[in-house]
Homo-oligomer: A and B are copies of this chain.
């Protein structure tokens, strides 16, 4: 008692997803088992690559959303575990294909699968995991969940193609950027959350609230990720700082810095992001310009707004530990940048 009392009540602990992790830990154990078993195949290369990705320690935020958004309604079946595993497979397939498209060398602090096994295997194993995801969804038998997740699958790919079109083009607008991240990132967060009340057979209002929470959280998450690329430390992010910069990816920090810069600075951005070769010191200069124009601060500010929207959406969902944990997840996502 004395020890506990000695901790000041005013100390605000760092935002964490511990509460969420704990609440869904039984379900996540089953999700992880299912993932390992469904990533199996007699074709050696498949489990090898799948294990590499699965053991690489992503936070598994998306499947946790599915479990929490079903558990909060007292759902007692096994469908949410299968849907959560499907969601994680969809995400993993996207990562495999993304790394090929972006020519990335690293993923979550490890060598990207394409560097270890080649682009070919990454494309095909991604396809396999996507096929397995759909098989699991079919096993659940909920056509509504299938509709939501297959829609997300098409939208994610559409977002990636959009991003490809915007790459190496510094005239990209904030609006275009938001459309890209809504499709490529937030759509899967939204679907992951929405299938919770769907499988728990809740009302349309509950489904809409969960979807909205996931969508807004996904937007905040991606904005923070994009800010971190110019400011986090490599160890935190699991990727090198400046990856987006080197790939000529136009993210919101860039949109702000380009829009607020002088002609000369725009020339710098054009050379770096639309050209083919970077020089020593370019990344440092980019980070300096970001600071000069509050590009990171304002990006994080946008993330906070989406975070607020996510919290508002939670208001419509049932009170309790799950809702509290989902609120913590919002704060956690945004705190990554601080």
Contact = CB atoms under 8 A, between A and B. Distances in A.
Contact of A41 (B41, B120, B151, B158): B158
B130 A130 contact: yes
Contacts of A36: none
A160 B100 contact: no
B124 A157 contact: yes
A156 interface: yes
Given A43-B165, A45-B164, A164-B45, A157 B127 contact: yes
A150 B131 contact: yes
Contacts of A141: 143
B45 A127 contact: no
Q: Is the interface of A mostly helix, strand, loop or mixed?
A: helix
Nearest to A38: B154
A135 B151 contact: yes
Nearest to A142: B143
Interface in A125-140: 125, 127-128, 130-132, 134-135, 137-138
A121 B164 contact: yes
A176 to B, nearest CB: 11
A153 interface: yes
A156 B131 contact: yes
A279 to B, nearest CB: 25
B123 A44 contact: no
B161 A132 contact: no
A101 B120 contact: yes
Contacts of A138: 143, 146-147, 150
A119 B102 CA distance: 11
Contacts of A100: 119-120, 123
Interface in A85-114: 97, 100-101
A150 to B, nearest CB: 4
A101 B128 contact: no
Contacts of A154: 128, 131-132, 134-135
Contacts of A127: 97, 130, 153, 156-157, 160
The 7 A-B pairs of least Cβ separation, nearest first, read A131-B154, A131-B153, A128-B157, A134-B150, A127-B157, A101-B120, A135-B150
19 contacts: A43-B165, A45-B161, A46-B161, A97-B124, A100-B119, A100-B120, A101-B119, A101-B124, A119-B119, A124-B160, A124-B164, A125-B157, A127-B130, A127-B157, A128-B154, A131-B151, A131-B154, A134-B134, A134-B153
